[in-house]
Structure 1
Amino acid sequence: MNIKKFALGGIAASMLSTGGLANAGEISANVTLASDYVFRGFSQTNEELAIQGGLDYAFENGLYLGTWASNVNFGGETSSENDFYIGYGFDLNDDVALDFSAIYFAYPGDDDALNYSEFTAGVSFGDFGFGLVFSPDYFGSDSSAYILNADYSFGLAENFSLDLHAGYTKTDDAGIATTEDNYIDYSVGVGTTAVGADFALTFYGTDVDDNDLADDRLVLSVGKAF
């Protein structure tokens, strides 16, 4: 089963940088230390250090489930994000795979005001991945959101990879993260494995010009899967 980054939305980039989901019938864990936690182009830690970790289980029939957590800083009482997800992925053939997943984002400490859910359908063709995400209550708002993701990953040289991403977010109402009701995010990352750990240097950008947390930035991360 080939689960691409589109399958799990924002949390997948951190998970897959540390080895991805468990193999069928196995439990896996991952930990990551990053200079920032960027989700769809926006810093979730107010441009500060992020410590993240996840636990996953993949069944032999293609079903998988897990949890993932990170510190966050929105300027209020909330200091952590805890995600819970379940999904089903399968290969149509040697090159094409489909994946369907649901994620619940929980933010303890702020009266659950920011909690919300997302549902994702994705398809991959070799090294290309495309996904459509729907949220009925994006970031705890009364607004629905639709997100399109496109990803491409390929080897640069021995033990090095280049990861490209582009995303488009459309909300029913403006003002959730920007004064507009839509925006584009993109990233370019280089990854490698050394001394038993996974290293990545990623450039993030958006077309948002009214929120400093969406400014262009470089993020360095190191992670390990168990």
Structure 2
Amino acid sequence: MMKKHYAYGAALVLLGATPVANADWSVTVTGATDYMFNGVSQTNNDPAFQASLDYAAENGVYAGMWTSNVDYGDDADQELDGYIGHFVQLSDSLSLDYGIAYYSYHGGNDSSALNYGEAYSKFAYSWAQGTSEMNFWYAWDYFGTGAGHTIVEVAHTISLAENHALRFSADSSNSLDGDKYMWDVDDTSYQHYKVAWLTSWMGFDIEVAAENTTLDIDTADERIVLAVSRTFAF
């Protein structure tokens, strides 16, 4: 996933929803009580409005753009991301999603200094007990600091009933160069835990998530986050 999308493709399958990849073009709009990125609020604990434009080809290649408001003080108040990737069904049970994304920031005096690129690969395995995931992200210039950075996530989604699923996930964010970037004093990594209930109603996708991190900052403490989105395919 770049930061935000495609993380719940497995959950959508369990819910019986039609994946966006089945449509050539689609637009998704989302309202959320917070914009959380690996357990850290990007809107200073305030709500977010987000939108994306996506294209998906029959051969699994996809591309798109995504935007959200952010609150980085005087540094930025808007994020705009672009991405291109490839979804491959390796077998009846195993799939691979890989690609590259570029995150750009706007609205501040020197917002472009935060821009950076990231590569990702995600594996999903569907079996009788649900869908298990192993996901990886690597940035070589994290938030423009010049530091390498990785995120590793394990997740599992189970179906509770028709149109209801739970996704459990845990991820670790790690700076590969503490001289250039640290999450906290003498702390180059942290862990994030999340449990999300996923459902849909009258064409709206709904997520209610409880999450927490090992960081000791007020934008990464325990919280409940609600997100409601609607996708329009054409």
Task: Calculate the TM-score normalised by the size of structure 2.
Answer: 0.87
Runs of 4+ in 1 over 2 A off after TM superposition: 13-25, 172-179
Q: Does the 8 A contact of 1:141 with 1:176 survive in 2?
A: no
Which deviates the most, 81-90 or 148-157? 148-157
* Counterpart among 149, 157, 160 of residue 161 in structure 2: 157
Are 1:114 and 2:118 counterparts? no
How far does residue 130 in structure 1 lie from its aligned partner after superposition?
0.8
Q: Percent identity?
A: 34
Map residues 35-74 of structure 1 onto 2, 5 A cutoff: 35-74=33-72
Structure 1: gaps (5+ residues): 1-7
Residue type matched to 2:84 in 1? I
Q: Structure 2 stretches of 5 or more lacking a match?
A: none
Count residues with an aligned counterpart. Answer: 218
Partner residue, 1:27 = 25
Q: Which moved more, 1:63-72 or 1:18-27?
A: 18-27
Aligned partners of 2:190 and 2:213 also within 8 Å? yes
State the shift of 1:59 in Å: 0.8
Q: Which moved more, 1:21-30 or 1:8-17?
A: 8-17
**Does 2:176 align with 1:183?**
no
**Offset at 1:9?**
3.5
Q: How far off is 1:99 after superposition?
A: 1.8
Matched residue, 1:205:
212
Deviation string, structure 1 residues 147-166 (Cα, Å, up to 9, x no partner): 11112112111211111111
Q: How do 1:135-150 and structure 2 match up within 5 A?
A: 135-150=139-154
The amino acid that maps onto 1:136 is W
Cα separation, 2, equivalents of 1:99 and 1:224 = 22
State the SS of the aligned residue for 2:134.
strand
Alpha-carbon offset, residue 221 of structure 1 = 1.3
- From the superposition, tell whether residues 139 and 153 of structure 1 become closer, same or farther in structure 2 (CA, over 3 Å): same
Could you tell me how far apart the structure 2 residues matched to 1:10 and 1:53 are?
13
Report the equivalent of 1:101.
99
Residue aligning to 2:174 = 170
Give the conservation status (yes or no) of the 8 Å contact 1:15–1:54.
no
**Backbone CA RMSD of aligned residues:** 2.0
Contact 2:183/2:189 (8 A) holds in 1: no
Q: Which residue of 1 aligns with 2:78?
A: 80
